Structure formats: C-alpha cells, structure tokens
Amino acid sequence: MPSETLTITDNRTGKQYEISIKNGAIKATDLFQIRISEEEGLVSYDPGFMNTASCQSKITYIDGDRGILRYRGYPIEQIAEKSSYLETAYLILYGELPNKTQLEDWTHNITFHSIIHENIKKVIDSFHHEAHPMGVLISTVGALSTFYPEAKKIFDVKTRRAQTYRLISKMPTLAGFAYRHSLGLPYSYPDNDLSYTGNFLNMLFKMTELKYKPNPVLERALDILFILHADHEQNCSANAMRSVGSSQVDPYSAVAAAAAALYGPLHGGANEAVLRMLMEIGSKDKVPEFIKKVKGGEGRLMGFGHRVYKNYDPRAKIIKEIADQVFEVRGRNPLLDIALELERIALSDDYFIKRKLYPNVDFYSGLIYQSMGLPMDMFPVLFAIPRTAGWIAQWEEMLMDADQKLARPKQVYLGAEIRDYVPMEKRS
C-alpha cells in the first residue's frame, strides 16, 4: 500500500523530511521543522487562502469543477425543490433533516423570537434616512449583544440555542425595520401567523391593511432564494465568523463581523453591483462595448466568476428558473435582456472561457429582488438574512472542534531591519 506521506527534500540543506498526509492535507505546522537556522522554520505563504484549508467541516460540500453544491450531503437542487428555508436552516445547523415534531418546535422557536427590544428601534431611528441598510443591519445585530449579555456563555449549549433562535428570527426584523426607516415609513411588526418569508414581506411591505397577505409565488421564490444563500462553506464571511468567533466573543458580535465581510462588492455586495452594472450598460446593443472594456482590464463583469466554481454556479441555474416565475407575477424586468445578452456573449468569449468565468449566484438574484420592489441597497441584506444560519453552523462547528485555536495567521516580514529612532530635526 502506498504510504500516506510526503517526502520533502530541502535543497538548501540536503535534509529530507517525511510529512504525513491526512484527508488529502498536510499540516502546515509540520513544515515548521524544515529550517536552516534555529529561529526560522518554513511557513506556507497563501494570501486569500487559495490552497489552505482553515478547518475540517461536515456542513457544506462544493465541487467547483463540476458545479456541485450539497448541504449535509443533500444536493442543492433537491433541497430547493422540496424543502423550506427553515427546514434547511435546521439541517445545516444540526446535520439531519428534522422529523415532524422537531420541525414544529424549531419553527415555533424561530417564529416566537422575532420581536426586537424597543431600544433597538431607537438605534435604528438615530440613523440618517439615507443610511445603507447593510450598515444599519451590521450595527444593530452587533448591538444585540448588549441586550443579551448571557450570550457570552458560548460553551453552554442551551445559551447557544437561545442565541440561534434569536439571531435567525431577528435578522429579518432588523432588516425590515432598516428598510422602513429608509423610506420614513412606520415600522411593521412581525406577524406570527405568517411563514418566515411571508412575515419578512409583511415587515417590508405592509401598509394600512389590517392583515398583510403575501403573494404565494413571491413568498416561495424568496424562500428558495433564502435556501440557496443559507451556507457556502469557507467563504469570506464564514471565515470572518470563524476567525472573529475564535476569540470566543459572543455570536452577535461575530455575526456583525461576518455581515461586514458580506457587505463588500466581491462577496455579498455583488448582487447590488450587478444591477448597477446592468443599469450603467443601459441597453442590449451596448453589451459588446462593455465586454470589450472588461477584457481590457476596465472593471469586472459583476456576477461572473467564483473562487471555487469553475463551472456554472448551480445556484444561478435555480435562480434563473425562479426569475421566470417572479416576472410572471410582477412583469418582466427590462434589465433581463441586457443580462441574458451579457451571459450569451461572455459564455462564448475566449477571455471568459479560458478563465472559467461563469454566472454566479448574484448574477440573476438582483433582478428578482428588484422585480419584487426592493431597492438595490437591500440586496446584500437579503443575502445576510439566510446566511445567518450558515454562519452560526460554522461558528458552532469551530467551537466544538478541538483542533481549532485563536485565528492568528503568520506573516512573511519584508520590512526594515532594526534601526534607531530619528529625531524630527534630522528627518528629511
């Protein structure tokens, strides 16, 4: 049987080292024994974690070359077709699909934690009306830690459960309130008779009617979008959640950090960036000109490309189908023609083919959100709500993993050698 080891020869010294391979990985700390002096062991240099596994995980599986995504082993296509967001969140968090009673209890617990302390409302009130709702969400979810100081007991299972219910339940409320604040509308309180997404639509759109009735097509479309965004293994925000959580801070503070990571245009902010790009292009006939600019290094085709997928993002395929259902109810989004033309040209262009750049989850999701009547500012917020389940699952897995430690990467120092302080009068 071949040995599960790697033999390394250090040509600087001629020494050989045998390093074990486990689950297709070597331990970076095993490289440390390879050294030329007492102080300096070999380190691996990997900005952006291009080929570094930061953890072992049992939550989400992605095969980027084949365009495969599975939550706890279940293909995303089956989950999107048959499950609901809350059932999916349970699966992601606890590893198995719930039985009937478990799902009822879980749904009850999520539904009955949706109200936020009135003082949080005052925090939201204090923001400028033009405040980006993602900034409001990041601030208010972080502020929740001050309302639940017991959340610091992160190694107590019961306490973690309580914060899990609160976080998954209150994120839509914070998001809904942030949206209403931006419009100067009165806050719409949670309605426990409605589903998770039905209630979210109620908190966004209820006007003077006594009872808000969500459109079932939009409610289900949003639920599927939430399923597709629930987790995506070690992405930038999950990494932020684990990294910040490794300091053993409470989960509200860690979720605020994860949401901040999601806000950026290369991650969850991409759906907003896609819409801005489509609007900037303006019409179908301007697409070739835009593609030419991208190929010339002037900006990127937003909603295209992915660190892991080198094939069509399986979530984008499902989203394209939902888009048709939503457009049937709300009318066709005129930007769709530009998006389809961009996709058509990009998928047949050598630049994109060579680099394996395909549409990702964000390419079409913004068009759907816009058709639902949501402003672009809300798009990353709509990503953060469902991703909260994934963040908590990643955080809990990290806490329970004996291998995990305070996240603290090394650096390769290339700065100045030691030198003496120069007084001001002697500086040039």
Pick the binder of ligand CMC from 117, 307, 310, 330 (CB under 6 A). 307
Closest contact distance (angstroms) between CB of 236 and ligand CMC is 7
Annotation says 306 is catalytic:
yes
- Distance (Å, whole) CA 212 – CA 263: 30
- Number of separate helices (H) and strands (E) present in the chain: 17, 5
Residue 27 or 66 with smaller CB distance to ligand CMC: 66
87 binds ligand CMC (CB under 6 A): no
- Distance (Å, whole) CA 245 – CA 204: 31
- Residue 123 contacts by C-beta under 8 Å, 6 or more apart in sequence? 139, 140, 143
The piece of 130-138, 191-199, 303-311, 324-332 that touches ligand CMC (CB under 6 A) is: 303-311
The answer to whether 95 and 58 have CB atoms below 8 angstroms apart is yes
Annotation says 267 is catalytic:
yes
- Distance (Å, whole) CA 28 – CA 53: 10
Residue 179 or 309 with smaller CB distance to ligand CMC: 309
The piece of 179-187, 294-302, 365-373, 404-412 that touches ligand CMC (CB under 6 A) is: 294-302
Task: Given the residues 191, 223, 231, 362, select the one marked as catalytic.
Answer: 362
Q: Binding string to ligand CMC for residues 240 to 279, with x set by CB under 6 A, is what?
A: --------------------------xxx-x---------
- Distance (Å, whole) CA 119 – CA 92: 32
- The tokens of 121 are what? 């409302």
230 binds ligand CMC (CB under 6 A): no
Task: Given the residues 132, 306, 313, 377, select the one marked as catalytic.
Answer: 306
3-state secondary structure of 62: strand
Closest contact distance (angstroms) between CB of 291 and ligand CMC is 9
Pick the binder of ligand CMC from 303, 314, 366, 380 (CB under 6 A). 303
Q: Give the CA-trace dihedral at 177, 181, 186, 190, to 10 degrees.
A: -10
281 binds ligand CMC (CB under 6 A): no
69 binds ligand CMC (CB under 6 A): no
- Distance (Å, whole) CA 339 – CA 330: 18
What DSSP letter does each residue of 307-348 carry, written as one string?
SS-SS--HHHHHHHHHHHHHHHHH---THHHHHHHHHHHHHT
Closest contact distance (angstroms) between CB of 404 and ligand CMC is 23
310 binds ligand CMC (CB under 6 A): no
Q: Which of 397, 381, 389 is nearest to 86 (CA)?
A: 389
The piece of 81-89, 300-308, 386-394, 408-416 that touches ligand CMC (CB under 6 A) is: 300-308
Task: Given the residues 191, 229, 267, 313, select the one marked as catalytic.
Answer: 267
Catalytic residues: 267, 306, 362
Give the footprint of ligand CMC on this chain (CB under 6 A): 232, 235, 266-268, 270, 294, 300-307, 355, 357, 360-362
